[in-house]
Amino acid sequence: MTVETAYGYLFRTVLCVLIAYALCGIVRAIMTKELCGRVMSVNMTGSAVTAAIMIVAAMLNEGFLIDVAIVYVLVNFISVVILNRVLTGGKGKDGGAS
């Protein structure tokens, strides 16, 4: 067994685990009733997808996929902030009086 073959098996195994982790996050977002659980599960799913993109970039030895992962992280951050804003009614610490 060569080092490249071992890394191939490792990358595939980690990808399978990350996909299962992301699916668990999606199921949790659908099944839970509490607001905090939904926001955290959306964030968890985004983190798992970002890690999966990074693993694919390492597998294929393609640098542009790192840029795709960075853009995905920014979109995930904005979506979690907007989701938080919508689900809480736009109220901050001061109760929305600004």
Domain that holds residue 39: 3-87
User: What is the per-residue pLDDT for 75?
Assistant: 92
User: What is the per-residue pLDDT for 94?
Assistant: 60
Residue 60: inside a domain: yes
User: What is the per-residue pLDDT for 80?
Assistant: 84
Residue 15: inside a domain: yes
**Spatial CB neighbours of 38, under 8 Å, sequence gap ≥ 6:** 29, 32, 83, 87
CATH number at residue 67: 1.10.287
User: What is the per-residue pLDDT for 42?
Assistant: 86
Residue 79: inside a domain: yes
Q: Which amino acid is at 86?
A: V
The token duo for 92 is 């901050």
User: What is the per-residue pLDDT for 72?
Assistant: 92
Q: For the chain, how many structural domains are there in total?
A: 1
Residue 93: inside a domain: no
In this prediction, the residues of the chain whose per-residue pLDDT falls under 50 are 98
Handedness of CA 10, 11, 12, 15 (dihedral sign): positive
Residue 73: inside a domain: yes
